[in-house]
Amino acid sequence: MRLISLVSLTMVAFAANSVLGRLAIGGSYMEANLFGLLRLLSGAGVLLLLCRLQNVALPWAPVQTLWGGGALTLYIVGFSMAYQDLDAGLGALILFGVVQVAMFGWGAMRGAVVSAGQIAGAVLALMGLAIVVWPTSDAVVAPFTATVLMTLAGIGWAAYSLLGRSATAPLATTAINFAAATVIMLPLSFVLATDVVVSVEGVLLALLSGAVTSGLGYALWYAVLPALSAAVAATVQLSVPVLAILAGALLLGEDIGLRLALGSVAVLGGIAVVIRLAPPKPKPVSPEAMVKR
């Protein structure tokens, strides 16, 4: 029950992060890449402060930090830039569809056991997500460049999630990853920025997104990832677009139609199937047991 509660809280944080990003970037309160930079910087600041207050030692692992920071930067850049031109619903479908395929594929290549029932559950969840976010108007066409950017964001987030499954110190690892991503993002934000747009509203949204829903949310995600298989970790994230759309309806007054209701049931039902059929993680073998063998 505790694991389910923590995973649910993490998905809510991710959904809130999407809403904050849409408000800031879609509302033209802040340029996309500058928003991403401030999001990373504020997240790194809060996480490093927490490490200091809790006397948590920061790990010295240059290679792992480079991979983690690079994957996080790829996600931030792709996500931020894509949402300048891409429909929000279609962008969510691309992002989390890519995440699911990438994490399922990686788990299969690594020999993870994925049952037919889990595959069916994942397909049901993905179909439900398509029902919710797929545009109904033929005039809505995803720009090619934005689609590629969101695909890269999905690959970046899948890589970041997979790297997090081996993290032994979630808070410290997330802090280091955010700091590394901030350093990488700093020159990129000025090179890729299309226009310098900064407002008080945009700064506040970026700080909230970075410090709370990104920094603390990602630290919590790294904490629960070791208890999840790659298949489960991939599929539960399909709930984020549905949660974000529901939050948009409640906070922004968007209509909730039959498509949203049916799609949400399919997504959550598919997730429940994948989690229910997940094989138990093998218990570690003690040295004494090894000696007896």
Q: Which two tokens stand for residue 111?
A: 């020999």
Q: What is the pTM of this model?
A: 0.78
> pLDDT band at residue 253, thresholds of 50, 70 and 90?
low
Arithmetic mean of pLDDT, 76-89? 80
Nearest-angstrom CA–CA distance, 12 and 16: 6
Alpha-carbon span 270 to 100, nearest angstrom: 13
Residue linked to tokens 């032994």? 168
Q: Quick one: average pLDDT of 130-154?
A: 72
- Give the DSSP letter of residue 225: G
Angle at 215 between CA 214 and CA 221, to 5 degrees: 80
292 or 20, greater pLDDT: 20
Of 281, 278, 267, 181, residue with least CA distance to 226: 281
Mean pLDDT of the chain: 80
* pLDDT at site 34: 92
**More confident site: 118 or 38:** 38
Mind listing the pLDDT tens digit for each residue in 41-72?
Answer: 999 999 999 899 889 888 888 888 999 999 99
What are the tokens at 80? 């931020």
- The confidence score (pLDDT) of residue 206 equals 93
pLDDT attached to residue 241: 77
Amino acid residing at 91: G
d(CA 127, CA 263) in angstroms, rounded, equals 8
pLDDT band at 269 (very low <50, low <70, confident <90, very high): confident
Share above pLDDT 90 across residues of the chain, in percent, rounded to a whole number: 25
Round to whole Å and give the CA distance between 128 and 126: 5
Mean pLDDT of 261-287: 67
pLDDT at 270: 80
Transcribe 155-178 into DSSP letters.
HHHHHHHHHHTT-SSHHHHHHHHH
Question: 153: phi > 0 → left, psi -120 to 50 → alpha, else beta; which?
Answer: alpha
